Amino acid sequence: MSIYLPKVFQYPLLMLSGLLVNGFSLAPESAQSHVNIEFKNGDQIAKTLSLSELNVLAPALSLKVFEIHERAERSYRAFPARPVFDKVFGKEWEKAQEIVFTSIDGYQPSTPVAKFLSHDAYFAFAHEDGTPFTLTNTLQNNETAQLGPLYLIWDNINSTALLEAGASDMPWQVIRVELKFVAPFSDMSPPGHASAEAQRRFMHFRKYCMACHAVNGEGGAKAPELNYPTSVVAKEIPNRGKVAEELIAYLKAMSLSKRAPEKLRENISTPPKSHR
Binds ligand HEC by CB under 6 A, chosen from 195, 255, 270, 274: 274
CB of 181 or CB of 205, closer to ligand HEC: 205
Q: What's the one-letter identity of residue 206?
A: R
Based on its alpha-carbon atoms, the radius of gyration of the chain, rounded to whole angstroms, reads: 20
Q: Which of 211, 187, 58 is nearest to 122 (CA)?
A: 58
- Binding piece for ligand HEC, criterion CB under 6 A, among 44-52, 97-105, 174-182, 211-219: 211-219
We find the least distance from the C-beta atom of residue 122 to ligand HEC, in angstroms, to be 23
Would you say 187 and 181 are in contact if contact means Cβ atoms under 8 Å apart?
no
267, 212, 112, 156 alpha-carbon torsion, rounded to 10°: 10
Question: Least Å distance between CB 230 and ligand HEC?
Answer: 8
Q: Which amino acid is at 6?
A: P
List C-alpha distances in Å: 168 to 68, 142, 151, 178, 208: 10, 18, 12, 18, 10
CB closer to ligand HEC, 44 vs 274 = 274
User: How far apart (Å, rounded) are the C-alpha atoms in residues 189 and 95?
Assistant: 22
In whole angstroms, give the CA distance from residue 216 to residue 173. Answer: 25
According to CB under 6 A, which residues from 230 to 259 bind ligand HEC? 232
Going residue by residue from 171 to 210, which x/- string records binding to ligand HEC, judged by CB under 6 A? Answer: -------------------------------------xx-
Is 59 a binding residue for ligand HEC by CB under 6 A? The answer is: no
Pick 78 or 226: Cβ nearer ligand HEC: 226
How many Å apart are CA 149 and CA 160, to the nearest integer? 28
Closest separation in Å from C-beta 226 to ligand HEC: 6
Query: Is 48 or 144 the residue whose CB approaches ligand HEC more closely?
Result: 144
Closest listed residue to residue 158, CA positions, set 187, 190, 120, 130:
120
Min CB(82)–ligand HEC separation in Å: 27
34 touches ligand HEC (CB under 6 A): no
Pick the stretch among 11-19, 67-75, 219-227, 255-263 that binds ligand HEC (CB under 6 A): 219-227
Among 211, 215, 219, 227, binds ligand HEC (CB under 6 A): 211
Tell me how far apart the alpha carbons of residues 77 and 83 are, in angstroms, rounded to a whole number.
Answer: 15
Binding site for ligand HEC (CB under 6 A): 208-209, 211-213, 222-224, 226, 232, 272, 274-276
